[in-house]
Structure 1
Amino acid sequence: MSTAAPAPLVFITGASSGIGQALAARYAQAGWRLALVARRTAQMQDWATARGLGVDRCAVYGADVADPSSIVAAGQACIADQGLPEVVIANAGISVGMDTAERADLDVMADTFALNNVGMAATFHPFVNAMVGRGSGRLVGIGSVAAIRGLPGHGAYCASKAAVVAYCESLRTELHGSGVRVVTVCPGYVDTPLTQGNRYGMPFLIPADVFADRAFRTIEAGVSYRVIPWQMGVVAKLMRLLPNAVYDKVVQGRGRKRRRDGVDSPR
């Protein structure tokens, strides 16, 4: 008697809230097995239990994505315990305002890059060779529409997300022909705890579950790059076309992301 193949497996970082949790819910709805990663393991386990996801459907791994050894160990544990995922989503990230004139904010920038960039590469690391050996898989980097142009007070975040886009493109070209696809998903404004404290307008804001459904379909299709929602993609492209002198005037007076210490920049 043949044994049915196990359901496909997705590995998601930053899965304790926001976009990561919404993606976990969408994959669970589609019948996938889940490997959920974050520092807040109890919160993830409570979420899984509330949805009736037993150990056969969901495993939780505690890791600090900003620490390469920690997230690499989580990936290795996933392979040992659940097998090699079909999809790995590097979603964990932070967004904190910064002012280059403030010494403390240089540390904010370093922390942002450690999580948003080095953490993404470390998330993918345990899976690359195994996926290439299998000849299939999807490595998904969650970027942002903020990668398209710099915004005042958002230097660390915009720079880190621009780096995400460039890094994923580099990885995509390296893995071309291997059967492993690299997908870059750039959210516009999504209603999550990360955006709820923003002090500026958020055009085309969408609920997290709507974003997750569109991202799920994008990843399944193996699309190399997509902005969600598409309207923000159009806005971003138009902003990219603006001459610098015009763009600089457009963003003057725009609200800024709150800095880590809660004190607003004088500029």
Structure 2
Amino acid sequence: MTAIPEGVAPLVFLTGASSGIGQALALAYARQGWRLALVARRVESVQIWVEQAGIAAERVRIYAADVSDRQSIIAAAESCLNTWGVPEIVVACAGISHGIDTAERADLDVFEDLLQTNLLGLAATFHPFLAPMRVRQSGTLVGVASVAGIRGLPGHGGYCASKAGVISYCESLRMELAPHKVRVVTLLPGFIETPMTRGNPYPMPFLMPVDKFAEQALRAIAAGRAYRVIPWPMAWVVRLLRWAPAVLLDRVMGRRQRKPRKTSS
């Protein structure tokens, strides 16, 4: 990678900074001395968190944007480019999770929201940085997927489809950008202690504190790992899921309690 000018802290551009994995990653980078370009829908809550975390104001810029609104996230990225230049790392972390029932008309709209936020929002986040990173011949794009993207889960089809799309999209992008020395890292979290998993009504094996996830994620990103499942025991589950025959998967997972629907009471 191109060397960062002496005395200038490296820059990370990160979506989903208002809570969960995004906020934990932001704090981990802040503790390593990075400058933070943080994107969130709830700007005021992020500003309060930055103050409470003791992060120096001159090291942070907060951009109001919704990744499901393509022009909104592109405008935030362009503002960052104009203010601070090209980041060393871009982390597309913003995401939503809801159960769906395809028999319910309202859930088709929920499905669309899942794809718009989790998959197309990720591509829109990366879009403004591709050309300048290619010119610079360095940079890292990080897509936060999920182990739920490996195989389908009952009642979770929209989320699984969106995260499977992230995995395939990032793999395609990685091969496209390799000649330009731009890395693409795909992170696959298992069950992480965040507001998103708090209401899950089913067992969550290997449930991991979000700060521990952030530590391991930063190491994987720094190493330029193409693909990393966190925590590591979940990587073995992923291997089993990949190769499990459909008849066995149906028998085991078919009895699994479903993710609550957004539109359910």
Structure 2 counterpart of 1:261: 263
Structure 2 counterpart of 1:212: 214
**Runs of 5+ unmatched residues, structure 2:** none
Secondary structure of residue in 1 paired with 2:178: coil
Give the Cα separation in 2 of the matches to 1:244 and 1:49.
50
Give the Cα separation in 1 of the matches to 2:212 and 2:125.
25
Q: Could you give the per-residue CA deviations for residues 63-116 of structure 1, whole angstroms, max 9, x where no partner exists?
A: 010011000000000111122100000000111000000000000000000001
Structure 1 counterpart of 2:81: 79
Give the Cα separation in 2 of the matches to 1:51 and 1:83.
25
Secondary structure of residue in 1 paired with 2:171: helix
- Which of the two has greater helix per residue? 2
Q: Could you give the per-residue CA deviations for residues 181-226 of structure 1, whole angstroms, max 9, x where no partner exists?
A: 0000000000000000000000000000000000000000000001
Give the Cα separation in 2 of the matches to 1:262 and 1:54.
42
Give the Cα separation in 2 of the matches to 1:9 and 1:91.
16
Give the Cα separation in 1 of the matches to 2:136 and 2:57.
25
Find the partner of 2:37 among 32, 35, 38.
35
Secondary structure of residue in 1 paired with 2:143: strand
Shift in Å, 1:4: 4.0
AA at the equivalent of 1:27: Y
Give the Cα separation in 1 of the matches to 2:33 and 2:56.
13
Find the partner of 1:164 among 166, 175, 180.
166
Give the Cα separation in 2 of the matches to 1:174 and 1:223.
16
Range 81-90 or range 254-263, more displaced = 254-263
Secondary structure of residue in 2 paired with 1:85: coil
Q: Could you give the per-residue CA deviations for residues 231-266 of structure 1, whole angstroms, max 9, x where no partner exists?
A: 111111112211101110001221111101224xxx
The answer to whether the 8 Å contact 2:37/2:63 transfers is yes
Structure 2 counterpart of 1:62: 64
Shift in Å, 1:5: 3.1
The answer to whether the 8 Å contact 2:21/2:214 transfers is yes
Shift in Å, 1:6: 1.1
Shift in Å, 1:23: 0.2
Shift in Å, 1:128: 0.5
Give the Cα separation in 1 of the matches to 2:211 and 2:83.
28
The answer to whether the 8 Å contact 2:107/2:263 transfers is no
RMSD: 1.0
Task: Tell me the TM-score normalized by structure 1.
Answer: 0.96
Find the partner of 2:146 among 141, 144, 147.
144
AA at the equivalent of 2:31: Q
Give the Cα separation in 1 of the matches to 2:224 and 2:29.
15
Structure 1 counterpart of 2:254: 252
Structure 1 counterpart of 2:223: 221
AA at the equivalent of 1:161: K
Give the Cα separation in 2 of the matches to 1:83 and 1:50.
27
Give the Cα separation in 1 of the matches to 2:16 and 2:259.
20
Q: What is the identity percentage for the equivalent residue pairs of Structure 1 and Structure 2?
A: 57
Give the Cα separation in 2 of the matches to 1:19 and 1:226.
15
AA at the equivalent of 1:235: V
Secondary structure of residue in 1 paired with 2:57: coil
Shift in Å, 1:51: 2.4
Give the Cα separation in 1 of the matches to 2:171 and 2:115.
17
Structure 2 counterpart of 1:50: 52
Q: Could you give the per-residue CA deviations for residues 16-45 of structure 1, whole angstroms, max 9, x where no partner exists?
A: 000000000000011100010010000111
Give the Cα separation in 2 of the matches to 1:241 and 1:224.
21
Give the Cα separation in 2 of the matches to 1:56 and 1:177.
35
